[in-house]
Structure 1
Amino acid sequence: MTRIRKDPEVRRTELIDAALELFSSKGYEKTMIIDIVKKTGVAKGTFFYHFPTKEAILEEICARWASELATSFLVKSRQLSALDKLRFFIEQFFLPSYIDTLYDSLVAGNQFNLLYKLWQQQLETVFNPMLADIIRQGKQEGTMNVDLINETLAFFWSTLDCLFEAAYNKEPSAVFTNKLQLAQSILERILRIEDGALELTIAQH
């Protein structure tokens, strides 16, 4: 049977979509490259034309998610103040996303080092530059006062990690609410925001 020739970017997208579905359903460890090419209906060489390894396509999935989230944020927050941007930036990370199932499969497979690597890649290339811009805007508007931005961002994410963990483990709502209030207070302190001005609203899912 003659293979249907498609635009390389279309093939690349099909491979990414297939990998995401298989990683989420079978798990990253149990999914082989041959599974991805079979699901997509392409030759193995087509996979390696686009991605040198299975980990490379996983990185691409995470990069696509981060890019989509960043694009949506930039469009929706263009006219907002720095405080409103920061609030929106934080809250969107707690909204349900297709990346959640992939995250679950990596946790189930004890792929913690890989998870950390993937997260750090997106922090460095996508999210930290956006946060730095928000902080600079806040300084111009007089609502934030941060000089050591890179150092402060390390504490910013450490604080959010506590909330991510509470949400992921589905801790009791009262406990989550207490942690949310503490996180808000810590973020206001390290970003030198007026007490009570951040007003985060995050629902557990």
Structure 2
Amino acid sequence: MDKREKIIDAAMIAFQEKGVEKTTITDIVKRAGIAQGTYYLYFPSKLSVMPGIAEVFVTKILTRLQTQVVGESFDQQLTEVVESIFHITDENKDLAILIYSGLTQSEHLQEWESIYTPLYDWLENLLKSAKAAGSIRPEIKEAFTARIMVGAIESTAEQIYLYNQEGFAHARAHKKELLTFIKQALRAGE
């Protein structure tokens, strides 16, 4: 693990233990086992580490998608995409909350799109394959649709796992409705 990764890992733990406001750079560097000056070689401020933390989250999502989206049909793949993002959100609730709270407190919110670009690109390629196979409308704009889908899927997962505590049946019903919504949007006019 390189020093940048050590700093990001240490920051995630420190922020989750003490909260973003109470955590200091000293807390982070002690946990990372580096000198304070080394921190500043990678990050100019305490909150400038937030995009790095968001990258960790996006990497978790991408890794899961790359290993779990294996269905032969686009419908199955779409279900696997939703399940994967829901699973990562549920499994990493504290990390998701940390990212949103930290990025909104900093000037780094504008970096969000670039952090998410690998995820958008992955989903865009899935949509291109589905379009080539005739599984979705030919006029779909894959790049725009990928961003809309990520937003809808993540927002629904966050509503379920970060804000509500209504249980498994509630989550399952939301997933089903979300999948129906996305499938109908991708195939409108059939």
Scaled to the shorter chain, the TM-score interval is 0.7 to 0.9
Distance 1:192 1:90 in 2: 17
Give the equivalent residue in structure 2 for 1:56: 48
Q: In 1, Cα distance between the equivalents of 2:152 and 2:52?
A: 27
TM-score by length of 1: 0.72
Q: Which structure 1 segments of 5+ residues have no match?
A: 1-8, 196-205
Instruction: Label 1:142 to 1:78 Cα distance change in 2 as closer, same or farther (>3 A).
Output: same
SS at match of 1:94: helix
For residues 68-117 of structure 1, the C-alpha deviation after alignment (integer angstroms, 9 at most, x for no partner) is: 4313422444674433332222211122566421333466x686566965
Aligned length: 185
- Change in CA separation of 1:113 and 1:57 when aligned onto 2, cut-off 3 Å: closer
Against the structure 1 CA distance between its residues 56 and 167, is the aligned structure 2 distance closer, same or farther, given a 3 Å change threshold? Answer: same
- Assess, with a 3 A threshold, how the Cα gap between structure 1 residues 141 and 59 changes in structure 2: closer, same or farther: same
Please give the secondary structure, in 1, of the residue aligned with 2:86.
coil
Amino acid across the alignment from 2:81: F
Contact 2:11–2:28 (8 Å) recurs in 1: yes
Is 1:16 aligned to 2:11, yes or no? Answer: no
Compute the RMSD of aligned alpha carbons.
Answer: 3.2
- Normalising by structure 2, we get a TM-score of 0.77
Gaps of 5+ in 2: none
Matched with 2:143 is 150
Residue in 1 that maps onto 2:122: 130
In 2: Cα distance, 1:110 partner to 1:75 partner: 29
Contact 1:156 1:187 in 2 (8 A): yes
Give the superposition deviation at 1:26.
Answer: 1.0
Deviation at 1:175, TM superposition (A): 4.2
Query: Is the contact between residue 57 and residue 95 of structure 2 (CA under 8 Å) also seen in structure 1?
Result: no
- Decide which of 155, 159, 167 is 1:165's aligned counterpart: 159
Change (3 A) 1:40 1:165: same
* Deviation, structure 1 residue 137: 0.7
